[in-house]
């Protein structure tokens, strides 16, 4: 059967410009010990986070520091901006999407004030973890990445 809608191939893109690091090197045991799932982290050099995958925004935290996205195939992804940034109660973060929105890989989802958050003493390392549905090796090494760059 002919379809006007071409099935989008699954991909994971970098959510930010910055330095890609291994999850084990994140200075927070919840992430470094992969308690929330495997993935990767980026030390950001930009202030707009794009969705690493295409799917539905299942959870958009009111504090703006984290977003959970799920693909139609059940792959779950959490983007968590910074360490302990939930303590800012949303200060410095602006959600660009709402819960239930469909987002495409590379589409802006959150904007944050890099300098404000750093001045408050928070580490902005951003984690991208996959709690379920995606069992691949995330050993991407350490390198500079660009927002929207295809990693997988």
pLDDT of residue 5: 57
pTM of the entire structure? 0.92
pLDDT digits (tens, 9 = 90+) for 97-129: 999 999 999 999 999 999 999 999 999 999 999
Mean pLDDT of 39-68: 96
Out of 31, 53, 60, 80, pick the active-site residue. 80
**Residue 73: Cβ-neighbour burial (10 angstroms; 0-12, 13-18, 19+):** exposed
- Give me the domain span that covers residue 102: 18-135
The pLDDT of residue 49 is above 70: yes
**CA distance readout (Å), 20 to 16, 108, 112, 126, 145:** 9, 19, 19, 10, 6
Mean pLDDT of 12-19: 96
Mean pLDDT of 125-136: 92
pLDDT of residue 4: 53
State the DSSP string of 24-78. GGSSSHHHHTTTT-EEEEEEESSSEEE-SS-EEEEEE-TTSSEEEEE-TT--EEE
pLDDT of residue 7: 66
Domain CATH for 29 = 2.70.70.10
The pLDDT of residue 51 is above 80: yes
Evaluate whether residue 10 is within a structural domain. no
Total domains in the fold of the chain: 1
Would residue 80 show up in a list of annotated catalytic residues for this protein? yes
């Amino acid at each position: 059967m002919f379809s006007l809608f071409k099935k989008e191939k699954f991909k994971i893109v970098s959510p930010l410009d910055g330095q890609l690091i291994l999850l084990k090197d994140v200075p927070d045991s919840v992430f470094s010990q992969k308690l929330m799932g495997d993935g990767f982290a980026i030390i950001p050099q930009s202030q707009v986070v794009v969705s690493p995958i295409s799917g539905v925004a299942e959870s958009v935290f009111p504090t703006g520091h984290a977003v959970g996205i799920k693909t139609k195939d059940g792959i779950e992804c959490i983007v968590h901006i910074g360490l302990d940034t939930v303590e800012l109660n949303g200060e410095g973060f602006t959600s660009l999407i709402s819960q239930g929105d469909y987002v495409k890989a590379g589409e802006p989802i959150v904007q944050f004030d890099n300098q404000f958050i750093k001045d408050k003493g928070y580490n902005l390392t951003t984690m991208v973890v996959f709690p379920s549905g995606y069992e691949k090796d995330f050993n991407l090494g350490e390198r500079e990445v660009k927002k929207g760059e295809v990693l997988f």
